[in-house]
Amino acid sequence: MRYLQSKGRVLFLCAELFPSPYAFLGKVFNDLLQLQGFSPIWVMPSMKVNRLEERDWNGSPLVLIPKMRPKNMHTLMWSYWRHLSYVYAAAHLALRQYGPFRLIQVRDDPGMAYVAWRLTKKLRVPFVYQLSHLKEEEYIIYAQRRLYGSAMNNFIQGRVGLVLRNLFLRKADLVFPISDQMKKTLLQYGVSQDRMVVLPEGVDTSVEPEVYDDAAKKIRKKLGLEGKKVVIYVGTMNRVRQLEFLLDVFKQVLYHHPDAHLLMVGDGKIPEDLIWLRSKAVELQIKESVTFTGWVPRDQIAIYIRASDIGVSPFPPNKVLINNSPIKLLEYMALEVPVVGTDIPDQRKVIEESGGGFCVPWRQKAFAKTITEILSLSEVDRRAIGHRGRIYVQKNRDFSICAEIVCEAYDKLFSEERKRCGYCLL
């Protein structure tokens, strides 16, 4: 990785709860940007504070704000206003303590985007918007399907958030969509193509997969999976992901491989999500062949993956999820586990370019057939497929590659801003 001579402070207003389960944030925007000469300053929400609190995050200043959760429609606007006031106060605290900033970047939150935009206008520095997921559209889906609280709350959050998000995306000097497909979606919302740089998900490939083998054997023994052919799913299990599809698929796999076992690692948006999936496994009479681990610490995920024979990444092709850049797919491949994923654009691109697995339509029969065929291969052949996947992510999706994309985009932005507006980049 090259090192930049130019240095500067970057204020990040991030919607993810702290501590974040997403390694990308800490590795790319915090650790690797520091190595490149930047000084990140963070504002993030937390469930564990009820006022502004200053912390340290791996050498970077962090201002925590309370996480606001409206209980009903009557408290929605009040909660949103309180959220904005906390973000505003935290951003100005960061400015007083750690400013001036070379740029201000927001991740996913339209309210934070408003504060960031106002502050960048005042300071005459660039405004950057990173979009990792179409959360506003997902809230609308929650409302339509009567999921996760008040349908009216979800609809209002979705519709109002959509308008605000797209407004500030169009005002941003630089936008990081998470996939080529999301870039196409944002073009339809009026975001300038010239201002967008695709920043896909990445993964840490610095650790050799074999490091996890001893711990993986212990996990297999602990879960009673010795001698089993293990198919793993890692990630959220909320109802929008339609994981009953995977349970139906796995029942078909068991006809051909009675010794197969499905390992479901992660939790739902609410506890009822896992309860519902467990009841579905009982209904399908596959309960004994499925293990739900619940939440697993981030630093333990690699062990579970390495203990598995196949990694699956089923995404229903709805208008939200087709824009995703799946993390789980890259994590499987980094650990030399062959993958089976459904046909969403970024997933298809990675699988086809790497040869690290197979991309199939969102159809039970096709998905089950592909899993069955891979399980029928020898362990050596499965590892060969997995090895191709690891080589690909090392060259194309390692966190260091993602950091290069960010720094090159920043460099170009700074150069253009100096020429166009004569900004003083302190």
The 10s digit of each residue's pLDDT in 205-234 is: 999 999 999 999 999 999 999 999 999 999
Say how far apart CA 333 and CA 328 lie, in whole Å: 9
In the predicted model, what is the mean pLDDT of residues 420-424?
Answer: 55
Tokens 């970047």 correspond to 105
pTM (2 decimals)?
Answer: 0.93
Fold of the 8-202+398-421 domain: Rossmann fold (3.40.50)
Q: What percent of the chain has pLDDT over 90?
A: 89
| pLDDT tier, 424 (very low <50, low <70, confident <90, very high otherwise) | very low
Query: Is the per-residue pLDDT at 251 higher than 90?
Result: yes
Question: CATH 3.40.50.2000 occupies which residues in the chain?
Answer: 8-202+398-421, 209-396
The 10s digit of each residue's pLDDT in 174-211 is: 999 999 999 999 999 999 999 999 999 999 999 999 99
348 or 4: which carries more pLDDT confidence? 348
Q: What percent of the chain has pLDDT over 70?
A: 96
Query: Is the per-residue pLDDT at 38 higher than 90?
Result: yes
81 or 386: which carries more pLDDT confidence? 386
Residue among 279, 209, 256, 265 nearest 373 (CA): 256
Burial of 231-262, coded b for 16+ CB within 10 Å and e otherwise, reads: bbbbbebbbbbebebbbebbbebbeebeebbb
Tokens 């997995």 correspond to 386
Position 66 scores a pLDDT of: 95
The 10s digit of each residue's pLDDT in 357-398 is: 999 999 999 999 999 999 999 999 999 999 999 999 999 999
Position 377 scores a pLDDT of: 97
Query: Is the per-residue pLDDT at 420 higher than 90?
Result: no
Position 3 scores a pLDDT of: 38
Query: Is the per-residue pLDDT at 416 higher than 90?
Result: no
Position 100 scores a pLDDT of: 93
> How many angstroms separate the Cα of 100 from the Cα of each of 118, 130, 328, 408, 420?
15, 21, 37, 21, 21
| pLDDT tier, 350 (very low <50, low <70, confident <90, very high otherwise) | very high
In the predicted model, what is the mean pLDDT of residues 267-278?
Answer: 94
Say how far apart CA 131 and CA 108 lie, in whole Å: 5
Position 426 scores a pLDDT of: 44
Fold of the 209-396 domain: Rossmann fold (3.40.50)
Strand partners, 104: 11, 127
| pLDDT tier, 425 (very low <50, low <70, confident <90, very high otherwise) | very low
